[in-house]
Structure 1
Amino acid sequence: MTAAYLGRRNPVVKLAAGLVVAAAALAAGDPVTPAVLLAGCLLALPLTGLSAATLAKRTVVLLVGALSIGVANALFGSPGGWQVGGALALRVVAVALPGVLMLSTTDPTDLADSLVQQLRAPARFAYGALAALRLLPLLTTEWHTIGLARRARGVAANGNPVVAARLFGGRVFTLLVGAIRRASRIAAAMDARGFDARQARTYARRQTIGLADLLLLLLAILLASAATGGSLALGTWRLFTSA
């Protein structure tokens, strides 16, 4: 993944490029603008190193949510029916897809380093967020382990929705307590390693912005401009608040 074009780009520049595309989709209330933006993102898929199947797996929840929003607005929303619903569904996907592509091609450590070096974000915040991201897979594993432990003790809802809700709440509380304890230990360990120090820090991995990174940002601006300009030329563009 890192060998792909987007995988080698500066994380902050990728974040800016994604925000440009998302802002163009967010402002438009017509179906043409998000459709063009989505087409541009899909054409850039080979640059990410992701396969179409992998992208589909990572966006299935997004697609289902966008479809639900579109259908609900088409059936029960404002006048405009399926045209308005379809525009909203496309808009939701066009806003979120750049972020999916950016995160899928960015190492969290590189993102934290770039936030500190390019955006001058506080090191304590950036690397604390990095530690939290690294712990997310552990929460999934721990959730599964809690379920197996309860099943081994014979704790089950047996089809009773009230009992199922109570057991779910207890499982969430157990996971929360474990997460707080782990976070406290990690915070103490990070402070012991100097992450709370006030003096200037040195960097093991230097993040730079080169011409290829600026080209990516330029391509994102051109895509957003082409989508908005094409919609204006067709006479379909309108501000989302007036849609």
Structure 2
Amino acid sequence: MTAIAPSPVRRGVATLNPVAKLLAALLIALPLVITIDPVSAGVALLLELPLLLASGVGWRRFWVRTLPLWIAAPAAAVTISLYGERSGAEVFSWAFVHVSEGSLALGLAAALRVLAIGLPAVVLFVTVDPTDLADGLAQILRLPARFVIGGLAGMRMLGLLTEDWRALALARRARGVADAGRLRRALGMAFALLVLAIRRGSALATAMEARAFGAPGRRTWARESRLAASDVAVMAGGLVISATAVAVSVAVGAFHPIFGPS
């Protein structure tokens, strides 16, 4: 008798509707992309802490999933500080490198913006089930059913690419053609993987058409997707975070829109 592993218990923000998570992340990100000051990004990052703590994501999973952000943020800060627009007093200069007070502030703002925009997006979507997201996009946002179901089918097929790549590598090694020329081998496997993906996509499209996935008329759904009070609350929280960040930036005179005068 085979034991069935219990599904992981979802808690906190993980239980919210995926559409609510999507809209909350957009509400947080949109105001931050119109300004390049460090104050608004810093305030937003501070206000996001309760949301990150209530995400239901374990600490190990959190650090693993957000590792690219922790690498990208200081990299962006260093690059902009060294090669960004010069303003204010010059701190350091060598060849093409000109570090000024303005470029340092701009680098700090870039790092904070990467974290303030990226952290909630990653944490909110790390627990999203693709089927739940598709249900919400079609039923709540009223996106075309054919587009949503096609996207869901494509997302479900992404996991097969890894297995196909592994099978191709084993097959080539069994035929003795994987011992030299790593670059050439990788290009050949990539082309073979592309051919397999196209063939599988064509077969999947034919199967879905045969099951009337592209039929006209109103479509029914196996699972109903609705916004609960907690979903509205997290979207309101995203709006409050962005509005507070911009308000504080304007109040202290640090607000610097990207489309405004330099």
Report if TM-score (shorter chain) is over 0.5.
yes
**8 Å contact from structure 2 (residues 173, 179) kept in 1:** no
Letter in 2 for 1:173: F
The SS at the match of 2:133 is helix
| More moved, 100-109 vs 217-226 | 100-109
Alignment of 1:71-86 (within 5 A): 71-79=78-86, 80-86=102-108
Alignment of 1:204-243 (within 5 A): 204-242=222-260
Structure 1, gaps ≥5 residues long? none
More helix by share: 1
Q: CA deviation at 1:112?
A: 0.5
**8 Å contact from structure 2 (residues 169, 178) kept in 1:** no
- What is the aligned partner in structure 1 of residue 187 from structure 2? 169
Q: CA deviation at 1:157?
A: 7.0
Bigger radius of gyration: 2
Q: Which runs of 4+ in 1 moved over 4 A?
A: none
Q: Against the structure 1 CA distance between its residues 115 and 153, is the aligned structure 2 distance closer, same or farther, given a 3 Å change threshold?
A: same
Letter in 1 for 2:223: R
Question: Does residue 138 of structure 1 match 2:145?
Answer: no
Q: Give the Cα separation in 2 of the matches to 1:185 and 1:42.
A: 46
Cα root mean square deviation, aligned: 2.0
Structure 2, gaps ≥5 residues long? 1-7, 87-101
| More moved, 193-202 vs 8-17 | 8-17
| More moved, 125-134 vs 228-237 | 228-237
Q: CA deviation at 1:124?
A: 0.9
Letter in 2 for 1:204: A
Q: Give the Cα separation in 1 of the matches to 2:80 and 2:185.
A: 35
Question: Does residue 198 of structure 1 match 2:220?
Answer: no
TM-score of the aligned structures, taking structure 1 as reference length: 0.89
**8 Å contact from structure 2 (residues 48, 241) kept in 1:** no
- What is the aligned partner in structure 2 of residue 60 from structure 1? 67
Alignment of 1:152-191 (within 5 A): 152-156=174-178, 158=180, 163-191=181-209
Q: Against the structure 1 CA distance between its residues 173 and 31, is the aligned structure 2 distance closer, same or farther, given a 3 Å change threshold?
A: same
Question: Does residue 36 of structure 1 match 2:43?
Answer: yes
Count how many residue pairs are aligned between Structure 1 and Structure 2.
Answer: 239
Identity %: 40
